[in-house]
Chain A
Amino acid sequence: MKSLNLFGLALAVALGATPAVAGPTLDKIKAAGVVTCGVSTGLAGFSMADQQGNYTGLDVDTCRAIAAAVLGDAKKAKFVPTSAQQRFTALQSGEIDILVRNTTETLAREADLGFNFAPVTYYDGQGFMVAKKLGVKSAKELAGATVCVQPGTTTELNLADYFRTNKLQFKPLVIEKLDEVENAFFSGRCDAYTTDRSGLAATRISKAPAPDDYVILPEVISKEPLAPAVRTGDDEWLHIVKWVVYALVDAEEKGVTSKNVDQMLTSDDPEVKRMLGATPGMGKSLHLDEKWAYNAVKQVGNYGEIFDRNVGKDSPLKLDRGVNALWSNEGLMYAMPIR
């Protein structure tokens, strides 16, 4: 079924029917009045729909911030769940405007798939989760293990690399649907489940029958910089996505939050005034309203607020800021100057 779906998308590329032609994505979004974002099929903390169909998550909020910046309303974001396999074709064929789906930025994806990545929204790394009762303390003890993994991911490749490097044997169990992979792991069909560590934490909290029966091993076997992606060839749209992400980070750095953004309009800091549009010019350069960053921060919050709410201290995942702290706090989050 999935291949049929992919086939359809490939056909769309072949026919050049849909906006497969790279072009003014911004015009299309303004005409449609909605930003269409490809998200995951359900990963707690990043993009997950509740029973009423309301999405929450870090990826979801990134998309909402873009909608707020472009259309002035964070609610004008539409979410399309895409599987690990469908996601790239969905972006290539123009079905979605932007892919914000815990997707790792790599050379081949940018150069071969025809994408441009916006700044990283979450620095992650791949890890392993095992059942506590196996008594495994390190990934190096996984020789001969069956490992559950999703196909078409960087995870699948890192897994093979890690075991090759350490001269260990393993058997992969490759299933496309996230739910099925998780089921296979929790039913004991696999000894270990591997994906990004944030994903492991999310799965452990939200899907495990008893979260305390499972442990995440200490090894981080790869770098997984998760970043939004857009089609190459539309620089205007790339600039918008890129600078909205920077604005969210910059807002945190400058202490601008969804609560105090109105007071901040009269701040003495010239960079804050430029960002929030109190000093006009930046919005015009991006072909957006001068209130672009103001709307994003006001309606969605700065990067720190988004992080804490979805994956950090105010969420069930309780992940540390770690490398995702601001550069001024020894992290990697560093926004380019808005000027």
Chain B
Amino acid sequence: MAVDARGSIGAATAQSSWWREERFRHWAYQVAAVAITAAVIGYFWHNAAVNMARQGIAAGFGFLNREAGFEISTSLISYTPADTYGRALLVGLLNTLMVSAIGCVLTTILGVLLGIARLSSNWLLRKVTLWYVEVFRNTPLLLQLVVWWDLLRFGAPSPRQALQILPDVYVSNRGLAYPVPIWREPHLWMLAAMLLGILATIWVARWAKHRQERTGQQFHTILVGCALVILPPLAVFLAAGAPLDLDKPALAGFNFQGGTTISPELAALLFGLVANTSAFVAEIVRSGIQAVSWGQSEAAGALGLRQGHVLRLVVLPQAVRVIIPPMTSEYLSLTKNSSLAVGIGFADFVSVANTEMNQTGQAIEVIAILMVVYLTISLIISASMNLYNRYMALVER
């Protein structure tokens, strides 16, 4: 009996009550978490819908197809007040993406240079960059943006007294107005020629690398590359009879008409974001370089490599692995900080969305769009940086 009883207990444990099984629990917790989240969101959604219906507040995304009716100062695509709220949002989104893209590129360049300068053997350079980093890192970004904006607005003359800094390039408190070439067909051929030049350069670079590996002989890839990229388009340009008509800015009435203008708001936003973020990037680059053990540099020096080569061939490639993950957060924060544009009157995504929120009164829908869009941008940046990280990571053998 006793044995039997024990046996049956043992059997029960062996079969195990299904709810105790690890795999089941693993799934159960996940399902429960998802269900609770969904229930909470559903509750809020329902609550909001009921409350808004009771108060007679319009709901839904139908407003995106209605005429916006307001003008936007900066737009990469054609836009008039007769376009829809949806298109207005797109204009804002493109402005945000433009600022973020230019900002990230400039920040990277400036940040890397500053980071290297922080470790320079030149006392003055080292101290100046130290001050730069500390000042820009330790003051609020919005304040910096307003200061840049005020400098650009109050420092520059009115359009009628605009400064001509280069032929047909004017600076005034309306921004920097400069000429742009008018598009002609040969320009397309010039682009094609340039593309071919770039492809040729890549091929030359590969060939040069192979040859150097085989024979040790170096090749002036950079010089040849420059020639390949610049000369063919130039030849096409001359062969086509140098078709260059400039759309020049000229004072007409109040403002400059023609050409292209970079507004003080856009300039202030870019200056502010780049100056601020590059201070953080400088520190990331400095720490990345310092993470590469000193022995590496010494060893490279012992092999007879010059300073520049040590940095470029030995230190930076290793430092990059340390730098990439924190850099991702800097790119993310630059992109998100670009929404501070709202404070200085640049028509970014948040600024346009704010206007729409108020014109339509549909705060919840617009905020939902804002959240989804910023989340998507951030996830894309994260994902591409992670890919790059995997590509650069030390391949362990």
Chain B 165-193 interface 0/1 with A at a Cβ cutoff of 8 Å (1 = within): 00000000110000000000000000000
Q: Is the CB of B363 within 8 A of A10?
A: yes
Cα–Cα, bound, A83→B54 (Å):
25
Q: How far is the CA of A142 from the CA of B45 in the complex (A)?
A: 47
CB<8 Å pairs between A and B, sample of 24 = A3-B342, A6-B357, A13-B363, A14-B47, A15-B44, A20-B51, A84-B358, A92-B55, A112-B360, A113-B361, A114-B52, A134-B254, A144-B252, A146-B73, A151-B355, A156-B359, A157-B69, A157-B70, A157-B359, A161-B69, A187-B153, A187-B173, A189-B174, A232-B56
- Report the number of A-B residue pairs with Cβ-Cβ less than 8 Å: 160
For A92, the chain B residues whose CB sits under 8 A away are 55, 57, 361, 363
**CB-CB < 8 A to B44: which residues of A?**
14-15
Given the known inter-chain contacts A16-B51, A189-B264, A233-B55, please indicate yes or no for A10 contacting B351, CB distance below 8 A: no
Complex contact A10–B69 (CB within 8 A): no
Having A144-B254, A146-B255, one finds 10 other A-B pairs with CB under 8 Å, namely A9-B363, A85-B354, A108-B359, A114-B57, A144-B257, A151-B70, A184-B153, A232-B55, A232-B56, A233-B56
Interface residues of A, Cβ cutoff 8 Å to B: 2-3, 6-7, 9-10, 13-16, 20-22, 84-85, 88-89, 92, 108-109, 111-114, 134, 142-146, 151-153, 156-157, 159-161, 163-164, 170-176, 180, 184, 187-189, 191, 231-233
Residues of B within 8 A of A15 (CB): 44, 47
The smallest C-beta distance from A145 to any residue of chain B, in angstroms, reads 5
Q: Is the beta-carbon distance between A152 and B47 smaller than 8 angstroms?
A: no
User: Is B222 located at the chain interface by the 8 A CB criterion?
Assistant: no
Interface centre among B354, B357, B359 (most CB of A within 10 A): B359
Tell me whether B71 is interfacial, beta carbon within 8 Å: yes
Q: How far is the CA of A84 from the CA of B361 in the complex (A)?
A: 12
- Of all chain A residues, which has the CB nearest B371? A7
User: Given that A15-B44, A184-B345 are contacting pairs, would A156 and B70 also be in contact in the complex, using a CB cutoff of 8 Å?
Assistant: yes
Q: B342-362 toward A: CB 8 Å interface, digit per residue (1/0)?
A: 111101001101110111111
Say whether B199 faces chain A, with CB atoms less than 8 Å apart.
no
* The 8 nearest A-B residue pairs measured at CB: A152-B358, A160-B81, A113-B361, A112-B58, A114-B56, A114-B57, A114-B55, A14-B48
A residues within 8 A CB of B81?
Answer: 157, 160-161, 164
Complex Cα distance, B254 from A144, in Å, reads 6
Q: Is B158 an interface residue (CB 8 A)?
A: yes
A146 touches B345 (CB 8 A): no
Highest count of chain A CB atoms <10 Å: which of B58, B69, B355, B363: B363
B154 at the interface (CB under 8 A from A): yes
A146 to B360, CA, bound (A): 25
Contacting A at CB under 8 A, from B28-56, are 44-45, 47-48, 50-52, 54-56
Q: Does B82 contact A (CB under 8 A)?
A: yes
**B370 at the A/B interface (Cβ < 8 Å)?**
yes
Measured between alpha carbons, how far is A161 from B67 in the docked complex, in Å?
12
Q: Is the CB of B72 closer than 8 A to any CB of chain A?
A: yes
- In the complex, A112→B82 CA distance in Å? 20
Q: Give the complex CA separation of A20 and B56 in angstroms.
A: 12
Measured between beta carbons, the chain A residues less than 8 angstroms from B173 are 187-189
Neighbouring A residues of B359 by C-beta, 8 Å: 108, 152, 156-157
Q: B375 → chain A, closest Cβ, in Å?
A: 14
Assembled-state Cα–Cα distance A156/B57 (Å) = 22
CB pair A143–B153 under 8 Å, yes or no, is no
Instruction: Determine which of A143, A164, A233 lies in contact with B253 in the assembled complex, contact meaning CB atoms within 8 Å.
Output: A143
Q: Does B235 contact A (CB under 8 A)?
A: no
Q: Nearest Cβ distance between residue B185 and chain A, in whole angstroms?
A: 29
Q: Is B364 an interface residue (CB 8 A)?
A: yes
A187-B154 CB under 8 A given contacts A3-B370, A15-B47, A170-B71: yes
Find out whether the CB atom of B257 lies under 8 angstroms from the CB atom of A22: no
> Which single member of A144, A159, A163 contacts B255 (CB below 8 Å)?
A144
* B147 sits at the interface (CB 8 A): no
A265–chain B nearest beta-carbon distance, Å? 40
* Residue B367 interfacial (CB < 8 Å): yes
Question: B158 to chain A: which residues have CB within 8 Å?
Answer: 188
